[in-house]
C-alpha cells in the first residue's frame, strides 16, 4: 500500500510520456473515451493528423486540445504532461514558481498552466458527490464544518477578509477517511448549506456537524443530521472520534496551502480547493494521477485568458 502513495518515478514518467507522440496518443485516447464528436456534423468517429483531429464523415478538422482547458496552447503537449506529472505526484502539489523552474518556462507561462490544470481538476471534482455507499457497500457518515481561509491576520479574531468554505469528509467505519469535498460559499447561511447539499452531497447521506445554526439545513430532504456541540473543546486525537477525519483533511489543506502559497487570493480559492480535493480523493492511486488528469482535461471546458483574469468562479449560495 505504501508504494502506491508515491506517484510515477521521473524515469517511468519519461518512459511513458517523454515523447510528444506519446502525449498526443494519450490525450487523443482520453478525448475519444470522453465522447468527442465532430463540431460540424456531430459524428463520433475521427482520425488524428498531427495535432489535428479530423471527422471521418465530413472531414472537418479541429485541434486535439480544442474545447478543453488546453485550447489554443502553443506549448508542446510534452510540456503539459510534465506539468501534469509535477503537479500531481505529491500530496501538497507545487507552486507556479516551482513549476516554471522544473519546466524551464517563464513564470507567466507556468502560472497560466498551473491555473488551467487546477481548473480542470476542479471541474472534474465538482461532478462528484460525497456520502454515497463505498465500494464495499458501507455507508459513510459525512462530517462537515465551516472553514475560513486567507484574509488579513491583523484584523482581529473575526473573519474579516476571509473566504468562507464548507468542508466535508466521509468517515468510514474504524475512522477511515473517504472522499472530501470543499466549496466556497458566500456565507454560512441555510441557503448556502442547502446549495452545498444539492451540489456535493449524495441523496440521504447522513451528516454530522457541530452546532452552527445554519447547519440545521443539513437536516432537510430526509437526511439524518447529527449535531455535536464542540465549542471551546480541543478536538480529540482519537482516530475514531467525531470530526477526526474532517480535522485531518482541513489540517492537510492548511499544510498544502503553506507549502505552495504565500497568500491565497479569494479569486483563486475555488480552483485551489478543487485541485486539493481532486488530489486527496485520488491519493490511493498516485501512479494513476497522470492518466486521471488527462481524463479530467478531456472533459474540461476551455478557460480563456479573459475569464482567468476577470472575476473567477462565483461562490454558491
Ligand atoms: Zn463531421
pLDDT tens track for 200-252: 999 889 999 998 999 999 998 788 999 987 766 666 667 778 889 999 999 99
Most confidently modeled range among 9-18, 225-234, 305-314: 9-18
Residues 6+ apart with CB under 8 A from 281: 125, 128, 179, 180
Q: Which residues contact residue 254 at a Cβ distance below 8 angstroms, ignoring those fewer than 6 apart?
A: none
- In the reported structure, the alpha carbon of residue 301 is separated from the centroid of ligand 1 by a whole-number distance in angstroms of 20
Question: Any residues with CB less than 8 A from the CB of 215 and at least 6 apart, and which?
Answer: 144, 188, 193, 209, 225, 227
How much distance in Å is there from the Cα of 50 to the middle of ligand 1? 18
Structure confidence by residue, pLDDT tens digits, 102-152: 999 999 999 999 999 999 999 999 999 999 987 777 789 999 999 999 865
Query: Residue 311: which pLDDT band, with cuts at 50, 70 and 90?
Result: very low
For β-strands 163-172 and 176-184, DSSP reports them as antiparallel
CA of 70 to the centre of ligand 1 (A): 22
Determine the distance separating the centroid of ligand 1 and the alpha carbon of 253, expressed in angstroms. 45
DSSP 160: T
Q: What is the dihedral of CA 200, 206, 209, 212, to 10 degrees?
A: 80
CA distances (Å), origin 271, targets 227, 241, 305, 313, 316: 30, 30, 15, 8, 14
What is the grid cell recorded at 114? 498551473
Q: How far is the CA of 129 from the centre of ligand 1 (A)?
A: 35
Amino acid at each position: 500500500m505504501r508504494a502506491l502513495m508515491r506517484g510515477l518515478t521521473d524515469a517511468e514518467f519519461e518512459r511513458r510520456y517523454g515523447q510528444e507522440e506519446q502525449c498526443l496518443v494519450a490525450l487523443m485516447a482520453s478525448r475519444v473515451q470522453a465522447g468527442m464528436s465532430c463540431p460540424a456534423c456531430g459524428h463520433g468517429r475521427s482520425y488524428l493528423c498531427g495535432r489535428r483531429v479530423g471527422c471521418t464523415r465530413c472531414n472537418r478538422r479541429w485541434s486535439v486540445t480544442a474545447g478543453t482547458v488546453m485550447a489554443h496552447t502553443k506549448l508542446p503537449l510534452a510540456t503539459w504532461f510534465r506539468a501534469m506529472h509535477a503537479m500531481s505526484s505529491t500530496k501538497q502539489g507545487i507552486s507556479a514558481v516551482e513549476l516554471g523552474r522544473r519546466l524551464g518556462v517563464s513564470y507567466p507561462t507556468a502560472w497560466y498552466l498551473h491555473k488551467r490544470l487546477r481548473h480542470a481538476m476542479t471541474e472534474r471534482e465538482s461532478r462528484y458527490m460525497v456520502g454515497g455507499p463505498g465500494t464495499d457497500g458501507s455507508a459513510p457518515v459525512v462530517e462537515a464544518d465551516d472553514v475560513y481561509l486567507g484574509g488579513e491576520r491583523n484584523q482581529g479574531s473575526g473573519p474579516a477578509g476571509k473566504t468562507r468554505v464548507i468542508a466535508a469528509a466521509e468517515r468510514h467505519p474504524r475512522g477511515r477517511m473517504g472522499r472530501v469535498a470543499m466549496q466556497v460559499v458566500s456565507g454560512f447561511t441555510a441557503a448556502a448549506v442547502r446549495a452545498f447539499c444539492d451540489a456535493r452531497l449524495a441523496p440521504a447521506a447522513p451528516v454530522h456537524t457541530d452546532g452552527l445554526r445554519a447547519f440545521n439545513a443539513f437536516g432537510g430532504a430526509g437526511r439524518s443530521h447529527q449535531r455535536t456541540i464542540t465549542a471551546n473543546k480541543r478536538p480529540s486525537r482519537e482516530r475514531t472520534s467525531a470530526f477526526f477525519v474532517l480535522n485531518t483533511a482541513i489540517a492537510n489543506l492548511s499544510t498544502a496551502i503553506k507549502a505552495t502559497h504565500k497568500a491565497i487570493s479569494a479569486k483563486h480559492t475555488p480552483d485551489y480547493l478543487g485541485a486539493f480535493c481532486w488530489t486527496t480523493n485520488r491519493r490511493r492511486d498516485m501512479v494513476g494521477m497522470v492518466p486521471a488528469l488527462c481524463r479530467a482535461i478531456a472533459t474540461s471546458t476551455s478557460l480563456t485568458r479573459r475569464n482567468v483574469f476577470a472575476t473567477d468562479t462565483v461562490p454558491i449560495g
